[in-house]
Structure 1
């Protein structure tokens, strides 16, 4: 993924990404570049970031044992480790502070420039909705990053994985996560920061123990302002399905490109469906294309909404989120809201005074759902278009 950053770290811009990655290829990038000079002098000094010795991180992760792996990506593997809270030295497993250690794969598609961009970016900025970078390691060929540990994992896992650990998020928690992620993007787009995220997606939204959302996995594209009319010209990179259409067509990146990606993620949160899913029936492979015609209509919205959320929202509340998602994924960037406006709308929906207690839909809402279901059954030859409803005990509530 990538982030557009100011000229302060222009030297770290990434030339590695030249194609749009596909989820089916594990978000792999399609090109690489020759090795470049690597030195400590490239790193911007920051009092917020500590330099770690490779030996300490090797000890902290139990020599990078396979059973310590938290995830894999184009960058490399991420390992669970333990460090002392005061000295930040390696500690025994189960003691001290849990951290996530990202280890650059020297043979991977993402390289030193991406690693450097992430150190310099997170070393300069701090926000409650950005994953905290604790430190880095730069020794010989070793490139590692040390982050705060996010115990709930990624939003992607909670939305799409099935199992006892990754339970479906409740309606109120989805609103909370959406608001946190929106605040993170709004901070990046602010006048003071002027950063474009460029590859916003569910796998890059991590959750702490309280389900607070934090953006992760940073890189760099090129410096430039984030205003709606200004743009960054760069080779297209990102993840298939999330990238804004104008960015794919022209390579011109603006803050409104991030807004589009946010709208896609919001739609995934509403539906519980992946943006691209070839296992769906014909005509439903692309979530955005399939759902667009249903989002504006109350009678048709139930076709899109995740069945596991049944009884947890009001029709008006769901319609408000659907309309926000629809505006975010507008084909014309001018009609998309700013992330600051998105935050305001989500804050209004998340306001405790407006939050509706988990309950069954009113008789009218149930009637509309039944009508939508009957229409869907007729269109599919009598087969239900919904997934089986999950038992109430399997749904988090908060």
Structure 2
């Protein structure tokens, strides 16, 4: 087993590496932590993934000071201080790998080792945005005394304050600086360096450095100290630990510019403000026009909003060349893959191959609509890319996948009653936004359990807008060719092609019945006589046997019989015919809140 985990570094070479970097204090230990969670794959596969992740990060460190890598169930991250040479960076990394092999059991599924010169981390979850421990890790130096401690203390505080303020504003979140203390006697020099993870935001970098800066104050006026969090590193010393060639000019980031520079900046800012006003006026005018736009015009709105244009090569690499191991979904015109992009973010990449006019229309429709929608219960489009006939859409990644897997798929029966009602509420809110709050009414046309995605906290998000259509306020309905999924489609649309937002309301009602029952809407085993789930539910309602519909896997102690009946009643309200009898989704949301929080019952409209 250990032979799988070991990377096979020669012991003599490793000993030489350790000696080299320890002499420069870069391998001084700040934190060594092995963690144990629950590995979802078998141990052999997991350890193989660990090895591949470490190997990939070492390869990246040959050309950079920061690396992330991902293999099946294993996330990895490594970072060297920017003042280290490539040779010393790799030496520090190799030393960390060696210590992990020595100190972490082969069955451990995570490790976090931090040294003065670098850190190395891997684990089974995405930690790329983590910035804090419960308290920062602090190491102070007491091996000698500084000359003129008062002057040293004052200069060190001043330099640490400025470097902590400057670092979040610098492109790669790294700064190194030195400053001489002025006193009547010997003038000691203070050396300081700060660094943040390249995967976090400037505000997170700033917050992280504020914590370690406060912690590091307890070391002064000792001659040196280091404080680290998962997201940042701050160190000072009275002895140089980096070359002068690595010093960063932090003055432009701390407000220390000359008077002439300030005047120049003020002039530039003033000009930019004026330009911004002009642009804002133009965009406002275009936005007003977009309010009455048809579907084809919305492509212009997309261009106005702007999306990230990803490199096709980067997305191909992020998905391991669109490997089947990374495929998380598929459809008639597109497949969806999990990807880890360069900044460490996990994304979902939807790959369209435009082999027909219909595929192109679906792609254009999805881009047009989703790039303008911003709601917590609607999937967010991050960007796109293309190469030849292949077009890629990049979405936020949903950790728990699609809802159908939790209802009648491999994870069936794992959702609690409270989770189910919260999911229903989230879908209702998302649809209310699309129908009533967006500047045009968007009809999704394909609401179903497989198009509801769940994030890490089981927050639902409506996805797949390839079939969506727009209506204006002055339109009662659209007449269009049928498109949708069998079992979820409203009868007036399937038979006559009459499309209104109430088509989505009908589909929502079907999804609610699936959530309550844990059954697929077209499962003929439900009731051989009545057939589909909706017919079965109506029959139980007429016979006053509502509770026979509830998923047997639910714990009866989790829910009130009264409120289960109300939720079934709500689902059936949404499936009534004719369409005008169905409530608007904003009203559905209010009724769902009542069920979720067990408030005093609102009067439910009578079912027709």
**Same fold (TM > 0.5):** yes
Deviations 1:98-126 (A, max 9, x none): 00001013447951111111111111121
Structure 2 residue 558 is the aligned partner of structure 1 residue 338: no
The corresponding residue for 1:185 is 431
Cα distance in structure 1, aligned partners of 2:401 and 2:447: 16
Task: Report matched runs for 1:227-376 at 5 Å.
Answer: 230-295=476-541, 298=544, 300-311=545-556, 312-351=558-597
Q: CA deviation at 1:296?
A: 5.4
Provide the rounded CA distance (Å) in 2 between the counterparts of 1:66 and 1:81. 12
**Is residue 67 from structure 1 mapped to residue 325 from structure 2 by the alignment?**
yes
Q: Which has the larger radius of gyration?
A: 2
Aligned length: 310
SS at match of 1:100: strand
Q: Is the counterpart of residue 79 in structure 1 residue 337 in structure 2?
A: yes
Assess, with a 3 A threshold, how the Cα gap between structure 1 residues 310 and 110 changes in structure 2: closer, same or farther: farther
CA distance in 2, matches of 1:156, 1:354: 31
Does 2:379 match 1:131? yes
TM-score between the two structures when normalised by the length of structure 1: 0.72
Q: Is the 1:12–1:113 contact (alpha carbons within 8 Å) kept by the matching residues of 2?
A: no
**Structure 1 residues 216 and 262: alpha-carbon distance in aligned structure 2, compared to 1, 3 A threshold:** same
Q: Once superposed, what is the RMSD of the aligned Cα atoms?
A: 2.5
Q: Is the 8 A contact 1:278 1:285 kept in 2?
A: yes
Distance 1:184 1:236, change over 3 A: same
The match for 1:214 is: 461
3-state DSSP class of the match of 2:529? coil
Deviation at 1:222, TM superposition (A): 4.5
Mapped partners of 2:466, 2:485: distance in 1: 14
Residues 339 and 226 (structure 1 numbering): CA distance in 2 closer, same or farther, change over 3 Å?
Answer: farther
Shift of residue 284 of structure 1? 4.6
Give CA deviations for 1:186-222 in whole Å, capped at 9, x if unaligned: 0000153311111110010000000100000112454
CA–CA distance in 1 between the matches of 2:399 and 2:393?
17
Equivalences for residues 79-118 of structure 1 within 5 A:
79-85=337-343, 96-107=344-355, 111-118=359-366
Distance in 2, matches of 1:223 and 1:211, equals 29
Say if 1:194 and 1:226, in contact at 8 Å, map to a contact too: yes
Decide whether the 8 Å contact of 1:226 with 1:255 is kept in 2: no
Flag the 1:159–1:284 CA change in 2: closer, same or farther, 3 A. Answer: farther
Change (3 A) 1:280 1:290: closer
Do 1:189 and 1:226's aligned partners in 2 also have CA atoms closer than 8 Å?
no
Deviation at 1:7, TM superposition (A): 6.0
Runs ≥4 residues deviating over 4 A? 107-110, 352-355
Identify if the C-alpha distance between structure 1 residues 280 and 353 changes in structure 2 by more than 3 Å, giving closer, same or farther. Answer: closer
Mapped partners of 1:151, 1:354: distance in 2: 35
CA contact (8 A) 2:301 2:372 kept: no
**Could you say if the C-alpha distance between residues 98 and 238 of structure 1 is closer, same or farther in structure 2, counting changes exceeding 3 Å?**
same
Maintained 8 Å contact 2:537/2:549: yes
Shift of 1:67: 0.5
Following superposition, the deviation at residue 167 of structure 1 comes to 4.7
Shift of 1:302: 2.2
Question: What do residues 52-81 of structure 1 show as CA deviations (whole Å, max 9, x unaligned)?
Answer: 121111111111111011111112211110
SS of equivalent to 1:237: coil
Structure 2: gaps (5+ residues): 1-289, 602-608
| 2:54 is the counterpart of 1:54 | no
- Return the alpha-carbon distance in structure 2 between the equivalents of residues 267 and 232 of structure 1: 27
Q: Give ranges in structure 1 of 5+ residues lacking alignment.
A: 14-40, 86-95, 356-398
Q: Which has the higher strand share?
A: 2
1-side partners of 2:430 and 2:302: how far apart?
Answer: 22
Name which structure has the greater RCO, CA cutoff 8 Å, separation 6+.
1
- Verify the 8 A CA contact 1:181 1:214 in the aligned structure 2: yes
**2:28 maps to what in 1?**
none
TM-score normalised over the length of structure 2? 0.48
SS of 1:103's partner is: strand
**Following the alignment from structure 1 to structure 2, what is the Cα–Cα distance between the partners of residues 251 and 6?**
25
Secondary structure of 1:145's aligned partner: strand
Structure 1 SS opposite 2:441: coil
